[in-house]
Structures are given as structure tokens and as C-alpha cells.
Amino acid sequence: MSESNASDRRQSLTVADLVNWLHRFDELTATELDWLTELDSAIGDADHGVNLIRGTRALRERFEGQHPANVGELLGQAGVTLVATVGGASGALYGALFVEMARHVGSAKSIDVATLASSFRAGLSGVVTLGRASPADKTMVDALTPAVEALEVAAERGASLRQALVDAFAAAAAGREATTPLVARKGRASYLGVRSVDHIDPGAASTALLFEALSPHLEHSPHPTTRTGQTMTTARRQFVNQPDDIIAEALDGLALTHPSLVAWHPESNVVSRATPAARKVGLVSGGGSGHEPLHAGFVGTGMLDAAVCGAVFASPTSEQIQAGTRLANSGNGVLHIVKNYTGDVLNFEIAAELVSDDGIEMQTVIVDDDLASDGAADGPGRRGTAATLVVEKVCGALAESGADLATVAEHGRGVVARSRSLALALSACAHPGESRAAFDLEPNEVEFGVGIHGERGVSRIPFATADELVEQLVTPLADELELKRGASVIAVVNGLGGAYPLELSIIARQVHRLLSGRGVGVARSLVGSYVTSLDMHGASVTLTVADDDLIGAWDAPVRTPNLTW
């Protein structure tokens, strides 16, 4: 009997088979890296493939030449590895899938079709619970659900293992394609609204690859990458050695430049105060890199105690956040300041639960100031953008003055409630090592309502003079905040990375003029590139309704690498 015929008649998967599955998943992810990036460029921030392959490579290294004793141990180790290496929402969700599968199968040495189906069902439940997604939300659930159902049907009718795996991949691939006409309701793609239609969800695409990897009898046909309908742009050059080293090298440079202010912890990519504070509420923030000087540039007296730095545009892992939280803890509790993005919220939640179990008192402030993403009630809510800086400054001043954790958190939430931001871009950013921008614009177009992860905005508007464009930012903000004559605000005019100081000063001039025309005073203003999106040529305006207490906290002394007075 031939080896292939023997393989076709097997009815269970061993630990060795599952290790080979993970190796093939890594191979397929590498083969389709450009395609995954292309998909995520269209409706996200172009990092899904880059983040995922970091995890699949870690899986390959973890199980190279060594096999765990049983299936549960293998799947559990795989889940922990993905959580620790991928970052963003994908790391937490793929980690939940594998961890829940591991809990279901336990110490089994091999699994048949029925057990495979029930373990994937357990994993799907973990993904749905953590990500709060349902079918038709345009997420990985849209590929995972039909694949699990196909395995269950195969088990019920007594299908062979080979046929069950083929059916599962076919169902996952169909689910992937079925995301194309959907409007995204979860994750960053949801901020595009109807502009997310006609695009495959990248999470569903990678989930289909996971099931394809489990079907070794299938010959893989690579997906073409295209940029149809886009204008060619000049390739960009960057001061980069190796893209994989950019975060570590940049943080090393920050610590070397400001040795009296900050210390870099390379094992977790956390930046903390060079001299830890004693007996005060600890402040921790963080997120994907690419927004510098947010967050690491705001570590120091009067602001953060620690900043946790993920990969470019990808949330740090929960393990990194735990490390930062413990560094910031001096016995009076720790406040997490979290921008409202799915990956950030998930990983900070997980970390907060784990450190709370160790006796650290925790509170969290979710920053959701972006007016452009104020959409459906069942979506992820407004994004967190430049108001994060205001929250960190005000909370930092209160913590430095000796306020307790509840008071600092309450004031932080108050700042969020009275802050709104809007942004636009004249050109997109390019990821480190990439020569092409995340999206292209015609010469007469402006991307309106952009976030800070290189993603598209909510619409495109005609290019106009600086004053006309700024009016389209300020007027909706003032209306949303219901600013009346006699009101007072803190105004932050923020460059997104590519706007130069002359441009930002012109924007600031018009912000002052427009607010003055409404009888609104600018009590304090800050102009510069503080919350960026790599080299995106754009700007945001943040308005925070001010009162005497807020101004007092804003004026309090601060000494960090990028904000000092």
C-alpha cells in the first residue's frame, strides 16, 4: 500500500501531525504575506500579515525538533506563544482559539474528526467571547464558523479524516469570500462603514489559511496581489536598518538620549522612568509603535510611569503590559490609559485581570475622542487619538500631587468625555521597510476622518486651502461639544508625522480665528507632532472643554523627553 493511500485511510491526528500543521501554517503565511498586507491595507492598517508571521515563525521555532507529550499541551503552548508574539487583536484571538482547544482535548495523544470538531467549536466560543463578534461582522469568525460547522457535519456522517479536512477548508474559504460584500462591524475596518464593502476581511483570509494548512492533500494556489485603480506613487526611502529591529533600535536611542529621564527594558519593550516614583498612583499607557512621541516620549515626572510599546500599529501583548504595570506599581494602584482599539482594549483587559490577581489595585480609562468614528451603537465605538495626550497630562499631574487611584481615574474619564478630535491627511504613511504608501490619493483629494494607524478615513473631500480644510475640522468639533460663547478650551493642533511646523502654525492660526469667531476662548494650546501615524502628511485638531481645575492640571510641571514645562 502506498504512503498516500495509508495517509488517506488514517482517522486521527497525532501530535506530530499537528506540529506539521503549524509549520505549514507558517509556510502559507509567508507565501501569502503580501496578499494579507494588501487586504489589510484596503480596510485596516496593513499589519495583519506582518504581525501574524511573527507568531507563526515563533511557533516553528518553539516546536522545531521537539514535540510536546500530548495534543492539549501542544495547543496550549501554541496559544501562549501566539499571545506573546503576535500582538494586536489577532494575537489575543488566535491565542484564545488555541488555548480553548487545548482545554477541550486535554491530555489526548491523538484526536479524531469528532474531537477535532468539538475542540474547534470550543475555540470558536473563546474567540467569540473575547472578540464579541458574530457571523456577518466581517471578522475571522466568518471563516471560522463555517469551517467548524463543516467538521461537525463530517463527524456526524462518519466522513474520513481526509474528507473532513478538505470540507473544513472549503467552508473556511467560502466564508472568507463571503466577507467581501459585508460592511465591517468590528475592528478598525468598521470605522470605514460602507467603504469596507468589496474587500475580503484579512482575519477571515488568515483563518482560511489555517484550515488550508490542516489539509495537506491540497495544492496551494497563491493569491495575486493587486493595486487596481490606484495611482502610482514615488517609492519612499527611510532611515531603517532592518524593519524587524526598528522598535528596539528606536527605544534604545530614546533611552541613550535621555538617560536621566527614562530606562528601556528590552525584554518587554517597556520604557519606564529612570528613577521610579515612590508611593503614588502609577500611570501606564501604550499601544502600537509608529505614533511617536506617544507614548514613550511622555514617560517622566508629571506624566507616565511606564509606556508599553508594541510592533508598528499593533497592540503590545498582555505579557508586555503586565511587565509595564509591575514596573509602574509603587503600592498605590495603577491606572491604565488605553486608546479605544480592539487589540489595545483586549490585551490591557487581560493584563489588568492578571496583575489584579497579584494584588495590584487597577483602574482603566478608555480614550475614545475621535469624532469621525462615532458610528453604530453595536460597533467598537470611537477611536482613541490625540486626546490621549491630554488625558496622560492631566492624570499625570493629579497622580504626582498625591491623588488616589479613584480620583485620578475619575478625572481621566472626565477629560475623555469633554474631548473630541478630527483629522485629515494629504497623503498616507508607509510602513517601515515598505516603499509604497498604505493608500493613494489623487492630487485633488484629501482623506477625511483618518485615524492614527495609517488607515483610510471615513470619506474623501476635495483639496482646498488650509483655512477651508481646518474649518471642516473645527466646526464639527465645536458643534459636537456644544461650545457656547464664553466657553474655554484646550486646543491641540497635532501633526500626523509628515506635516512640517510651518503648516501646523497655519492650522493653529485658523483654529484660533474660528473659535474666536464663536466667542470661544483658547485657554491653552499645544502645536506640534505629538500623536503621529509614521510619516502620514496630515493633521488633527483636538478640543477639550476647559475649567479652572483642568487648566491647573495642564499647567502643572512636567518633565519628559517630549513634553516639558
List 258, 295, 453, 537, catalytic entry? 453
Distance of alpha carbon 412 from alpha carbon 395, whole angstroms: 6
400 neighbors 302 (Cβ within 8 angstroms): yes
The three grid cell numbers given for residue 145, joined into one nine-digit string = 464558523
Alpha carbon of residue 188 to chain centroid? 8
Q: Which of 459, 532, 448 is nearest to 494 (CA)?
A: 532
Peptide bond into 293 cis (omega under 30): yes
Distance of alpha carbon 522 from alpha carbon 394, whole angstroms: 17
Length of the chain: 565
Q: Which of 247, 416, 421, 254 is nearest to 335 (CA)?
A: 416
291 is catalytic: yes
**Coil vs helix vs strand at 462:** strand
**Coil vs helix vs strand at 447:** strand
The three grid cell numbers given for residue 546, joined into one nine-digit string = 476647559
3-state secondary structure 292-337: CCCCHHHECECCECEEEEEEECCCCCHHHHHHHHHHHCCCCCEEEE
List 48, 104, 199, 291, catalytic entry? 291
Alpha carbon of residue 373 to chain centroid? 15
Contacts 24+ apart (CB under 8 A), 514-517: 514/470, 514/471, 514/474, 514/475, 514/478, 515/474, 515/478, 515/483, 515/489, 515/491
φ, ψ for residue 463 (rounded to 5)?
Answer: -65, 145
DSSP string for residues in 29-55: HHHTHHHHHHHHHHHS-S-HHHHHHHH
**Coil vs helix vs strand at 69:** coil
3-state secondary structure 95-118: HHHHHHHHHHHCCCCEEEHHHHHH
φ, ψ for residue 35 (rounded to 5)?
Answer: -65, -45
Distance of alpha carbon 305 from alpha carbon 299, whole angstroms: 6
Residues 6+ apart with CB under 8 A from 161: 10, 11, 12, 13, 112, 113
**Coil vs helix vs strand at 151:** helix
318 neighbors 326 (Cβ within 8 angstroms): no
Distances (CA, A) of 203 to 80, 144, 306: 19, 10, 31
- What positions carry a catalytic annotation? 291, 453
